[in-house]
Amino acid sequence: MKKNILLYVALFLTTFSCSSNDPEVPAQIKNDAITQYGSKQAFLEQKYVGTDSYADIKQQGDFALGTFNYVDGEMAAIDNNFMRIPVSGKVHHASDTLMAPFAVVKFFMADEQKQISENKSMQEIWSIAKEAFSDTSKPIAIKITGNFSYVKARSVHKQTEPFQTLQEIVANQAVFEFEQISGSILGYWFPKFMDGVNFPGFHFHFLSDDLTKGGHLLDCTIENGTVEIDYSDRLILR
C-alpha cells in the first residue's frame, strides 16, 4: 500500500509541477505548491514527534494547519499568523522554536471565489465548496471567511509516552463553542487516491478575526461569507 501511495505522489508531482523563469515574479507566486510535513500514515502509527521547526515551516507559506510535537494543541495559520491553540483555549502566536510532526502549508492565492449570502450549516458549506471545484485531481486549499452564528471547535491534550492512539486522543478532546463570531475556516481537501499521505476529503481549522479563538473545526453555521479556492500545482512531502 505504501508503495502505491508513493507512486501516486510521484505521478502527481510529475504531472502538475511547474515553474516560472521570470525573475520579476515574486517567489511565493512562482511556488504554488502545498508543502506537507509528516503524513496521515505516520500519525496513525503514533509518530507524534517531528524534527521540523516552525521557523522552517513558516518559510513555506502563509496559510496552514497542523499540530505540535506530542500533539500539544492545534495549529492554524492565516495571513502569515501562525497560531497555537492549546486545550486552555488561550490562542497565541506559535514560537519559531516549536516543532511539528504534521503540518500542511502553502502561500494562499485564490483561483476561484463563491459567495454565501444566507445561513448555511457545515454540511451545506462543504457542498457549496465541493460543487465549486473545477479540478478534483489535485489537493486544494480552501478559505471561508465570514460571520458565523455558531462555531464548535476543539483542541487536544499533550501526549506522553506510551502514546495514545489518535482515536483515544480525540475522545479526550477539549471542546470550545463560540456564538456570533467573525473569522475564517481554513484548511485543505485531498483526493481519495492520496489517502495515507493525507486525510482524504476536508480538514478544517478555525480562527477568529482577532486571532483569540479557534481550533479544529467540529461544527458551524455561517450567516454570510466568501469561499475562496486555491488549486495547487505540486505537493512537496518532507
Question: What's 99's domain CATH number?
Answer: 3.30.1330.80
* Per-residue pLDDT at 89: 95
What distance separates the 2 farthest-apart alpha carbons in the chain? 51
Cell 502538475 belongs to: 16
- Does one domain contain both 51 and 158? no
| One domain, residues 99 and 17 | yes
Element (H, E) at 231: strand 214-231
Percent of the chain with pLDDT over 70: 87
Please give the residue range of the domain that contains residue 66: 2-106
In a domain, residue 123? The reply is yes
Q: What is the pLDDT of residue 165?
A: 96
102 and 184 co-located in one domain: no
- Domain shared by 18 and 91, yes or no: yes
pTM, full prediction: 0.88
pLDDT at 82: 98
What does the pLDDT look like over 67-106, one tens digit per residue?
A: 999 999 999 999 999 999 999 999 999 999 999 999 999 9
pLDDT at 203 > cutoff 80: yes
Residue range 109-120: mean pLDDT, rounded = 95
Alpha-carbon gap, residue 190 to 211, rounded angstroms:
26
Residue finishing a domain among 56, 76, 106: 106
Same domain, 102 and 121: no
CA–CA separation, 160 and 167 (whole Å): 15
Q: Which residues contact 6 (CB under 8 A, 6 or more apart)?
A: none
